[in-house]
Structure 1
Amino acid sequence: MRRLSIARSLQLALLGLTVALTAIAALGVGALYQSRQDYEDRLAEGLQLQASAGRLLAAGVVEEATLRLRRGPDGLTERRRARAAYRAANREALALAQGDAASTEAITAAAAGQQLLRLRPTSATAPLAAREPLARLSRRQTQRIADARDEAQSETRRAVIAIVSGGGLAFLVALVLIAALVAAVRRPLDDLVGASARLAGGEDDARVREDGPDELRLLARSFNQMAGDVQDAATRLRRERDRLDVTVRSLGDALVQTDADGVVVSANPRAGELVPELAVGTVLDAASAPAELAQALEGEVVVEQDETRTLAITAARLPEQGGVVWTIRDVSERARLERLKSEFVATASHELRSPLTSIKGFVELLASGEDLQPRQREFLDIVLVSTNRLVDLVNDLLDVARVEAGRLEIHRRPTALHEVVQEVTTLFGPRLATKRQRLSVDVPEDLPRAHADPARVRQILTNLLTNAHLYTQEGGAISITGRADGRSAVRFDVADDGRGMSREEIATVFDRFVRVGGEGDRTTGSGLGLSIVKSLVDLHEGRVDVESAPGVGTTFSVRLPVSSAVGTTAAARDALRGKRVLVVDDEEDVARLVAERLVDFGVQTEIARDGAGALERLRAERFDAVTLDILMPGMSGFEVMRALRADPDLARLPVVVVSVFSGREALSGEWVVSKPIDPGELADALGAAVLADRVRVLAVGRPEIRDELDRGLTALGIEHEWATSPQEATARCAQRYYEVALVDAGLPDAAQVIAGLDLRGRRLRRSVVVFGSADDEISGYARLDAEPVPISDAGAVVLGLLDAPVGSRAQDG
């Protein structure tokens, strides 16, 4: 049976109630109207009959008077008129009294009395007999009017009672219908509410019966469909959760989740193996975290857990909960392979670059002679060009390997761009001449010096110039321009009018092993040069841009930071003149080549073939500096440096490492020149080492004591730089190399300053000196694990570090 909707049921109920109330009201109103009409009819009839009785009385009185006063024949006419009037009045009264027998009887009795009065006009009782029925008739009409009024009132009361009773009954019926409708709606709604609560409580099989009004049946059907969808989704979610749980548990990586308060809330079984200290419930703080959170959020952080295990750690924040998910991977095998690769790169570079160094160096020396025949010079030029190409290829491959391993280091110092450009363009002249290419240079000598590694800037410029040479046609034009780029950067552009590049080619121009050109393009090259340029510029915290269009040419723009230090390359090279340098290398050819390279700079050289012999000569003779190979048999270069720094008489001796060793991070900030040897780079490094005969000092303290410390250090001739916060000290250490740090014990965060120091100066023994002002309570700084020295003695302690072992008041770095 089809059920009605709630709206339809309410409409029908209201319509029925309206019809019932209308009918009751109509019947009641009709009954009231009829009662009123009957009352008015009876009232009118009574009043008319009462009036007719009066007229009948008057007619009888007139006739009685006529009978008494006009007895003779001459009164016959008047008596007849009086009798006619009475009879007319009697007929009228009888007509009006037809519906009431009592009134008719009274009228008839009055007529009889009037007849008696005619027969005996002088009788004393006859008038009374004629008048008394009329009085009774009048009283009868008064009674009839009163009865009609009473009956009308009674009818009105009955009609009102009937209306009220009918309306009340209809209202009760409506209430019953509404109650039945509410009951019909309530039960499905109660079922729906209960099923919703069960569904919210996790009962996926909660359902409701689809009955009741149409709306509720549709609602129940929708709910059942939704509950089915929820059950399906919950089933899928459970399956996915189980699958994810199995996946997480079987992962080879450790997963650790912490909440917003740093409490470990979950950890997979692998975490128990790699980091058992991070158990569920453990509070993770800065000290117990597997790595620094900020670094782990930015990218992978590699941590050596012990000698046998290396971990790679990343972190990701949970945005809504505020917690962190740590991913910890065992990369011990990868680290081992990286070490093997580094060892291979070191071995390969040694085996390749050592003979190349000798070949290239001596070919250049032969080519510089004046007694060569043209054919000999031609052959030497061919050998030199091929050797340079091979050296460039080996250098590129080794640099790419260092970039991949994150071990490509730079040693920045004030660098004059015009000098670097002059060196590169001088060496590049013969190559440009082979294609009759024109080179224009516009780099002012007063250009601000860049804070850069001169050797790497030469490499950047050489790679860009090589690229322009290769992709510019014969007779083309190449230009190098330099200018200041604001106050904080210096810029140089290498432009050509060659084939140019499309947008697609520009997008991949800095990718490795990518060479621009079509299938028929015979341009040579490894496709590594521009990739290395990009890596080197990034290491200098600079930027390289390219602008190009097909058929127009290409312009590469390099921006490097400006150096705030004073000093020039010329000053470094001038400092070498007259200096005596010991060249230490186990390969005689390379040692002789280094010595020959230094002759042009006015340097007197001596050669030592091993580390032990070098130490003997250094202790027996006076030298101004040492060039040292690292990979030597017997006593290695590392051991020689440690011996030098431990010897009070030799601790200040400048050392420049000249080696193919690729692990520059192990050289702890020493000056390094890679093989094959670039004469300019060697001279720059050696000159800088000779000039830097004093330790570099970083003072970290409160502003109010700066003047006092500055006066003491300046009086002793100690150059130093100043920082006032842990952040500033860390930033300065990242920019420059320091051997000694003076830390104010009165700083609130002195311990944080010491923890963040990264002293990378050329000495292998670096020191942190903690000092206090005269107003400080020195004994209150035991937390720094050092006994602070008075501020007045800080300069003397620094000078003592130059020639004496580090004392008890300083911490070895």
Structure 2
Amino acid sequence: MSRRFRFRDWPLRAKLAVLLVLSAVLPLTIAAVVNIIEARDRMLDQAGAVLAARAEELVWRLDTFNREYQLDVRKLARLPEVVDFLASPAAGRSSEAELTAILQVQPAADPNIRGAALLDMAGVVRATTDSFVGANLSYRSFIREALRRPEFTSSIYVNAARVGGVPSIAYMARVEGPDGKPIGLAALWVRASSLWAIMKNANGKAGPGSFAVLFDNNGIRIGHSYSDDIVFHPAGQLDQALIDALTADQAFGPDTRLLLTDVRSFPEQFERARARVPDETLFRGFAPVNQGWNYGVGRPLETVSWTVFYMVPEAALLAPIEATTGESALIAFACMVAALAVGSLYAGVLVRPIRALTGATMKIAAGDLRARVAGRLAKDELGRLGANFNTMAERIEAQDAALRAARDELELRVQERTAELVLANAKLEAEVAERARAETEARRSEQNLATTLNSIGDGVIATDTTGHVVRMNPVAEQLTGWSLADAAGRPLVEVFHIVNEETRQIVESPAERVLREGVVVGLANHTVLLSRNGSECPIADSGAPIRTPDGAMAGVVLVFRDQTEERTNERLRIRSVTLEAESLRAREASRLKSEFLANMSHELRTPLNAIIGFTQLIHDGDVAPDAPQYKEFLGDILASARHLLQLINDVLDLSRVEAGKLRLNPEPVNLSDLVGEVVSILRTTAADKSIRVETALDKKLDDVVLDGARFKQVLYNYISNAIKFTPEGGRVAIRTQAQPDDTFRLEVEDTGIGIAAEDVDRLFIEFQQLDVSAAKRQPGTGLGLALTKRLVEAQGGSVGVTSAPGRGSTFFAVFPRRMERTAPAVAPPGFYGSRGAPLILVIEDEDRDRASLVRILTESGYAVETAATGAQALARCNESKFDAITLDLILPDSSGVDVLRGIRASEKNRDVPVIVVTVVTERGAVAGFAVHDILPKPVDSPILLDSLQRAGVAREATGTVLIVDDDARSLKLMAATLDQLGYRTVSASTARLALEAAAEAAPAAVILDLIMPEMDGFEFLDHFRQMPQCRHTPVIVWTIKDITAEERTRLAVSARGIVQKGRRAGAALAAELGELLEAHGGFVDHG
């Protein structure tokens, strides 16, 4: 802004005029603004009251509408004809035509009612005024909700296309039977257009442009007073789950998803409609229907979870206020013009004496000290100002004359002093010339020194005798990152900071030693200079003292050289040698891998060739089924397949460890027990070669925490290898020794063939075998030791071997005594399949293997219980009797041998067939125990089922039915009936005898009479359900007792069904029993 437009530069007359205008206009403006604000607030209060009244009136009309139809449907639900129709069985019901005539009464009397219907408790239409009898409407969510409530009113929806696709409201009431229990549902389908007519009648009743909107509790518009296009559009973004549910329900017809995803946003209405207690205060928001800002209030309905909003446009509401504002502005402008005219006249009179004073001051400023304020001066403030100005001008004129005289005298004195200064200056010039010659000589010497330093390719730093930097050459500046200007005067240790290249420890610079000892310090290597900017560079440095001609030390010179290029060349040379060595190792590894793969392919092809060859002979008929070689060939096929599976399992185990998927379960273990288990597994193999197995275990190792299963796997690999490569009559020794570093050492020593020293390093490497011919003579993949190394290292340990050819080998593994324990996730026991089928206990800790066994057994008709640990398995064996048990030998909390010992010691399952399913397939592992079969993992379905069949566990067995009745004839009749149908029965004439029979062997089902001496049926059920193996066994009550409602409620908890004696024959009861055993379903009451 230019200076002439600044307010402070304005003429005084203009300033006074502006002041007067502001004094007149500002109060009027403030008063007008206050009035406008108050008028606006009053207008909003009045509008809020009007909107609230209209909204409450509309809510009353809508609630009245709903109550009328809710009353109608309640009356319909209580009609005796409706109750009798739904309470009667289908065969005995009255004519649907008669009931349809009753249902048509209300639609005929009220055109708003589109139709009426009766539904059973499954949601199936049993009678209707439309043509969809038998249709199941439970796919509608509001039908499902109505079936759970005494009364229910739906939101507005679009009905099915087969009945016109008309927007409707469903009013529904529960139909109750004579006993007070729900037997069905009465429904009235009312046209939504009749409710929308109420909405349209409310349009514009709160002022011009006012309108009403109806929302459901999801924030979806279900009614509008004048816009049908916005109906069924939400006012905000809905959850995807709600959109999917309403779309599946076809709530608003086939375009439901398009309507719900097309949001017509009005956040204020959306949030209030979804709130349980809507905000009833006045609010403001932008409405999409009129594309403008509106004020409104919301009110909830009492009869349904809907909300009514009554809105009025802000423009219509505030139009009177805007007119008043224009009138106020016009009045203020007229006042401003009048004030400006009066102010200009008054300011001219007031400013006239000020102009006279201004003219006099301008003349004095121009040098006319005789200028004065002319004319007659008034006696006010401006007059006194002019008089004082005249007095001041007279004094200035007198002082100016005095100053002129003093100036003339001063000029005379200056001339005298100048003459004296000329003489002194001549003497000073002579001294300056002498100093200039000395400085020129010094600069020439300095330039020569600088040229010398700058031409040196090494870094040079000079210090004084206190170790402070005084000089640096450019190379030193570049290497240290310090300029001479910054480094001058600083201690050398700040500028020249070096560390050892390998240890990174701070190293004393040669200059410090020179200062301390006064001797030359030669080159020092393997140091790194840390630059000021953070970079590093390897250097070689040396230091020497600077001495004066008389031999006194004047400082130190430090010389250092950048060794980056030399070090880089050295590293390149070393890297080249390393790469060449690695290339040789890679070529050797590739050769060994190819050799290993060739051996592996041979190992894989050998059993495959045998399988294919023997199978081809049998398939082509060259060997008859009754020929002696037939069974021998089948045995060869099975042995080859198992050998092939073991080869593949070894490779998969190693890949699992390398992929990091190894699961460890550290726990306190007894090393003696673990070693004993593995030795017992391999003792038979060792005995076949007359090899003596010895153990020497350190008794101090009583606090070991590790993964017992993985420890046994490592020990198994070591011992099996030792036995494999030890000739007949040899010896294998197992030792454990405590170590001082909180570890312990496991050793397996053999008297085998030994290993050459050059081959020891290759033992634990994948894809490497020491001798191809030796590998061919011994079965296996050669991956055992590599897998062992990975297992030990995963537990924080290490492996190794000492050996000499011909003198045997000692393989060892070092384990930490206490691994960090983590709580393993143990699957809870579970039950699968149908009650009554043969019951198999599956003991398996691996989730995948357990799921596979459950699938095979349940699909084949068996019932299955599972246990993931030895403790779970023994607990189930003590509680229940099983038809067969499958057992894994490697469990997380105990060995399979211990579990097998516990099973054989239990009373209920000591003679049950046990099938071992495990990766350890040696028979020696379970020597001394009655084991029906040993199957390798992964188990094959036909093999497992065949093993169960051979154990006498038939899939078609139906289970045992326990009959409890004090009447001997009833017992005989029911036992004979069930025996003819293939059921095994056990009869008991008292409840106590029945409980003893159930404790001995859990039945598949129970048929129970309630009236018995000593202990009745109710007491029997209380004791029976407390037995763990009988908690879920189905019970059918068969009695002549008249059962009360309270007794039926009690039986519904503990029994599966009730059949009255005399109403059905024994065969019919047996049919009910068959259905319960197959489905094991809900409570069945045939009383």
Instruction: Judging by fraction of residues, say which structure has more helix.
Output: 1
Larger radius of gyration: 1
- Structure 1-normalised TM-score? 0.27
Instruction: Judging by fraction of residues, say which structure has more strand.
Output: 2
- Structure 2-normalised TM-score? 0.21
